[in-house]
Amino acid sequence: MKTTTSIDDKDEPPGGGTSLTGAAKTKHFVNPPFGERLSNQVLDGRRSEESALVQRALNVTPGSFPHNKFKIIPKSKPPFVISKRTRQFRRLFFSNVPDSQWNDWHWQVKNRIRDIQTLTKIIRLSPEEIEAILDHKNPLPFSITPYYASILDPADVNQAVRRTVIISNNEYHITPSEAEDPLSEDNDSPVPGIVHRYPDRVLFLVTGFCAVYCRYCTRSRIVGDVRKMHHISPQYWENAISYIRQHPEVRDVLLSGGDPLTISDSKLEWLISQVRRIPHVEVIRIGTKVPVVLPQRITKQLVEMLHKYHPLWMSIHFSHPDELTPETAEACRRLADAGIPLGSQTVLLKGVNDRVETMTRLNQGLMKIRVRPYYLYQCDPVRGTSHFRTTVEKGLEIIAGLRGFTSGYAVPSFVVDAPGGGGKIPLLPEYVAGRSGDNLLLRNYEGNIYMYPDPEGSIGDPLADCLVAEERQLL
């Protein structure tokens, strides 16, 4: 067991920022004992008491202001929404941090929770969690933004979103089928930062930095250590851009990482504008979790900048309906209003979102904030993630529990990213029940069988299936 309590010292904020030292990091931190936590009710009570005092001072009753006599000075509006739950959290732990600072994404990044001392003030860690954190030896660092910490349950070790970001002892259990790079991305990388697997598109890993590190990350081998990713090296980006320029078949560039939206506006704009200038690049996509873990980053300036480079799409990484907060809704509203089509990517995680009911709530909630559920991924066999993996049947069961029971737009594609670099393989529950003469037998969402006239088809014919299998064996 390590004697140090430092969880990570290699992960630095992007854009030339520096991590704060322990003392500076906890500068804003206020730690009331758990017993002194204020409930929502108490806080609400205090708010209405305050408002009653103001009314009394003005000697008027609410709604009866004589408008010509008094001018009501509106409270200065925070530039970003702060939900009731988050406000309560902030009063408890960051009481001297004003709205303007809390809503400043740079402040959120600088004040990420990255050490056990700070974490224990916010969350009642179990003995297992403490041991796992002290024993931490994985390349994937630990980091949680104060905002995301506000949606974690301080008392429940099994809370879904908490499990996705707090280190567990299970990470140290490696199974034989797991690998550092299970999708063989490094093998499909012609130049550093580019993964060219599919014919018409490339993945461009633009940074190794994330605001929050997900414990099941497929790229845990590279994220969190900017010394590996060299994300601010102009040469690294230039080489990758030059590769795209030299490959006219590339019509779609997915900027990912790490999280591209953690890069400063000016650097991100330089990067996007360079890619946009390449004539054969039709579409730029950004893969990000920022609207979920650092929604304050979605500033008006950022969306105005992104708006200039259409067609630009965004895939947002969601895991659970608890992430659908007013802050995240506001971030998505700003992006959608800027004309950016939003899709979600969700990893199927055991004990986190592997129930039809949870996935229904998530996907219906996403539709309400104008995010189209896009992919549901079977969890990749990354080293130390077996505790998050469930069966492929479970994924199919969830898709069967969504299809027909809710809007088609709320049903993502369930895919397995084939280990070894085979790419995404979509899987569907079995809706073909067989064949009856000229008719195909189809099973609907309720399990009822219907006939569809298909005289020239052979799907569902067991004999035809056998012949196809035999032909394959002969090849």
- With contacts defined by CB under 6 A, name the span among 20-28, 107-115, 155-163, 210-218 that binds ligand SF4: 210-218
Binding ligand SF4 (rule: CB under 6 A), the pick from 194, 223, 281, 348 is 223
Q: Which of 210, 216, 375, 377 is catalytic?
A: 210
Query: Which is the catalytic residue, given 10, 47, 56, 198?
Result: 198
Burial of 50 (0-12, 13-18, 19+ CB in 10 A): exposed
Q: Which stretch binds ligand SF4 (CB under 6 A): 18-26, 228-236, 255-263, 269-277?
A: 255-263
Compute the distance between CA of residue 13 and CA of residue 210 in angstroms, rounded to an integer.
8
Q: Are 423 and 184 in contact (CB under 8 A)?
A: no
- Alpha carbon 172 to chain centroid distance? 23
Asked whether position 261 contacts ligand SF4 by CB under 6 A, the answer is no
317-356 positions binding ligand SF4, by CB under 6 A: 317
Quick one: DSSP state of residue 306?
A: H
Tell me the two tokens of residue 330.
Answer: 């506001």
- Compute φ and ψ for 440, nearest 5 degrees: -90, 135
**Binding residue for ligand SF4 (CB under 6 A) from 81, 116, 202, 210?**
210
Q: Closest separation between CB of residue 379 and ligand SF4, Å?
A: 11
Q: Which is nearer to ligand SF4, 97 or 202 (CB)?
A: 202
User: Nearer Cβ to ligand SF4, position 292 or 399?
Assistant: 292
Q: Is 391 left (phi over 0), alpha (psi -120 to 50) or beta?
A: beta
Least separation in angstroms between CB 223 and ligand SF4:
5
Regarding 258 and contact with ligand SF4 (CB under 6 A), the answer is yes
Query: Segment near ligand SF4 (CB under 6 A), from 185-193, 207-215, 296-304, 397-405?
Result: 207-215
Q: How many residues bind ligand SF4 (CB under 6 A)?
A: 11
Active-site residue 217, yes or no? yes
By the rule CB under 6 A, 219 interacts with ligand SF4: yes
Output the six-digit token pair for 431.
């809706």
> Is there binding between residue 162 and ligand SF4 (CB under 6 A)?
no
HSE of 446, CA atoms in CB hemisphere, 13 A: 2
For residues 148 and 318, is the Cβ–Cβ distance under 8 A?
Answer: no
Closest Cα partner for 414 from 382, 446, 390?
390
Which two structure tokens, joined as six digits, stand for 426? Answer: 């979509």
Closest CA to 243 of 192, 289, 294: 192
Mask of contacts with ligand SF4, 282-301, x by CB under 6 A? -------x------------
Residue 247: count other Cβ atoms within 10 Å of its Cβ.
Answer: 17
- Cβ nearer to ligand SF4, comparing 81 with 165: 165
CA distance 66 to 367: 43
Asked if 114 is part of the footprint of ligand SF4 (rule: CB under 6 A), the reply reads no
Of 217, 285, 289, 389, the active-site residue reads: 217
Taking the complex as a whole, the smallest distance from the CB of residue 139 to ligand SF4 amounts, in Å, to 12
**In the complex, least distance from residue 210 CB atom to ligand SF4, rounded to whole angstroms:** 3
Burial letters 426-449, b for 16+ CB under 10 A, else e: eeebeeebebeeebbbbbeeeeee
Question: Can you give the binding site for ligand SF4, defined by CB under 6 A?
Answer: 210, 213-214, 217, 219, 223, 257-259, 289, 317
* Catalytic residue annotation: 197-198, 201, 210, 214, 217, 219, 380, 417, 424
